[in-house]
Amino acid sequence: MADSQYTEDNIRSLDWKAHIRMRPGMYIGKVGDGSSADDGIYILLKETLDNAVDEFVMGSGKTIEVSIQNEKVIVRDYGRGIPLGKIIDVVSKMNTGGKYDTRAFKKSVGLNGVGTKAVNALSNYFRVESTRDGQSRSAEFEQGNLMHEEKLEETSRRRGTKITFTPDPEIFKKFSYRKEYISKMLKNYVYLNPGLTIWFNCEKYYSEEGLKDLLGDSIKEDNRLFPIIHMKGEDIEVALTYSKAQYSEEYHSFVNGQHTTQGGTHQAALKEAIVKTIREFFNKNYDPGDIRKSVCAAISIKVMEPVFESQTKTKLGSTDMGGNFPTVRTYILDFVKQKLDNYLHRNPETADKLLKKIHQAEKERKELSGIRKLAKERAKKASLHNKKLRDCRVHLNDTKKEGNLETTLFITEGDSASGSITKSRDVNTQAVFSLKGKPLNSYGLSKKIVYENEEFNLLQAALNIEDSIEDLRYNNIVIATDADVDGMHIRLLIITFFLQFFPELIREGHLYILQTPLFRVRNKKETRYCYSEEERKQAIADLKGKPEITRFKGLGEISPDEFKHFISDDIRLDPVMLDKEKTIKELLQFYMGKNTPDRQDFIIDNLKVELDLVEEIENEIKQS
């Protein structure tokens, strides 16, 4: 083999926008299509909002307006406005911004001068407009290239900054914004900034009591063991309660207004502080798991120049608070020890309820200890024989969470479906777990059933979530079942399992439904895969004549070569989300409890429509 040439011609220098467009993952994490809360289009929105919220934090502008229509995003704040002579530099020159001056932005999230530039480079249309001191100036860009610049003009508009952008479809394929994810993002902003008002498409977001409101929305009053404990100090805020129903721990953590979905040093310190304080209060060395079982807590801290473990800032790595403060761990331990201990002494009724909760958790743990040991041995044996789980290479020799953000576990039914996905998958990051028949309806059952039922036990072991979802081995859990009655039933039973025992997996956006095509419409020149009746009709119209129409009734009917398209770049995922208006108990009771008149009416009303549609489609397929 001839030696490859390595000369000056091989050395390339990319300008700022070309580098961002070539390596978007370095700046916004995964690109995605909007089906996941951490997809790039939401990071673009967040980077823009961070700047607007920082203006509120600095005491300028109490209102932010957000509009999203047809993928076009507009964010308008009423802060000080970007200095008019620097509006182009701020959005198009790397390492340029006001946040390097710690006198102006002491505890801000966006400290690297990249955020708005990334939004600009990854948008096919970007406009910045700043108003201050009775004057206004604007500039327009395409893919980071300056296209038009307005000169200074006199204006009577209120001061502030207005950013308009449309994510570039060359980067973000077939994307769409989901209101549920945006709503959650905006709620977090107002929880962390009481007094701030955000309007989103004419809907108001506002909070007066910060993290107390967050937990209040997350855990309904009748599901709380005791009233929310709300503790505030200099650069720290903590809210805490316990759930009556759920088994697992639930944490919401923030640093300088950034939602750290993967936790970090501050969240670890909070968990340690809760255990330490309660042990000392009751003067007994309780098991940490018994103390934290069913805990629901939120923490927000402000740190000087925080260090995150990635550009998307989902995990805090800082150990120091900055200034004259001690370490993050020491500061949180001391704060929680003082505040929580004082609260428990002043509220003996709450302390008594907490003690009973701990004793109940201790009793359940001891009762399950023998079953858990046996279940672990069964799961390990099954894993050795590789009967249920076909793992991905990322995890074959590693059970740690690091590096698993792109990993996916497909939960399938039957050998044919699992076989198709197994042959089609990306073996590096995609794993397959095969179910045997229909899972048990776990509604109303205790955690004991998870260890006694083979399917549940092995699924729990595959996900590595027995002790905590912080050890979750796959970022995306995808239910892949047939689009028929049996497949829908299995899907519902799996969702019930997660709602009953691991609801935080759903709350944190890990659970999805795989959308596979219902029809294949093709002629001699082209093949279209259609995911809905509307797409099928459009395909028939586009291909003209009498194309061949195939109705896929099961995943096993789709060949591995075809399936590869549906679980790679063109994958369509529907996130499983919780309805904030209903509790988990209410949802499970309606869908999985004993038959109720309401559910019967719901089924009857929807079944007639579905049957009519199926009959119409089958007639058309026969004719083709």
Quick one: average pLDDT of 302-309? 79
Which pLDDT score, from 0 to 100, does residue 3 have?
Answer: 55
Q: How confident is the model at residue 1 (pLDDT cuts 50, 70, 90)?
A: very low
Helix (H) or strand (E) holding 157: none
Q: Yes or no: say if 471 and 461 are a contact pair by the CB < 8 Å rule.
A: no
Percentage of the residues of the chain whose pLDDT score is greater than 70: 83
CA distances from 152 to 77, 90, 129 (A): 19, 17, 11
Q: Yes or no: say if 531 and 515 are a contact pair by the CB < 8 Å rule.
A: yes
Q: How confident is the model at residue 419 (pLDDT cuts 50, 70, 90)?
A: confident
- Residues 6 or more apart whose CB falls under 8 angstroms from that of 314 comprise 29, 38, 259, 260, 261, 262, 308
pLDDT digits (tens, 9 = 90+) for 588-621: 666 666 666 766 666 666 555 555 555 555 565 5
Residue labelled with tokens 């001056």: 101
Percentage of the residues of the chain whose pLDDT score is greater than 90: 39
Which pLDDT score, from 0 to 100, does residue 8 have?
Answer: 52
Separation between Cα atoms, residue 456 and residue 448, nearest integer Å:
11
Quick one: average pLDDT of 440-444? 83
Residue labelled with tokens 């203006």: 55
207 or 451: which leads in pLDDT: 207
Which pLDDT score, from 0 to 100, does residue 405 have?
Answer: 65
Which pLDDT score, from 0 to 100, does residue 468 have?
Answer: 76
Which pLDDT score, from 0 to 100, does residue 366 have?
Answer: 87
Q: Across the chain, what does the average pLDDT equal?
A: 83
Q: Where are the alpha helices (DSSP H) in 219-311?
A: 265-282, 288-292
Separation between Cα atoms, residue 191 and residue 237, nearest integer Å:
11
Q: How confident is the model at residue 413 (pLDDT cuts 50, 70, 90)?
A: confident
Quick one: average pLDDT of 439-461? 85
Which pLDDT score, from 0 to 100, does residue 471 have?
Answer: 80
pTM (predicted TM-score): 0.81
Which pLDDT score, from 0 to 100, does residue 335 have?
Answer: 96
Domains of the chain: 16-206 (3.30.565.10), 211-364 (3.30.230.10), 387-516+552-593 (3.40.50.670)
Which pLDDT score, from 0 to 100, does residue 187 have?
Answer: 95
Quick one: average pLDDT of 481-497? 85
Report helix, strand or coil for 208.
coil
pLDDT digits (tens, 9 = 90+) for 99-154: 545 544 556 555 444 688 999 999 999 999 999 999 999 999 999 999 999 989 99
574 or 372: which leads in pLDDT: 574
Q: Residue 217, CB half-sphere, CA atoms under 13 Å: how many? A: 21
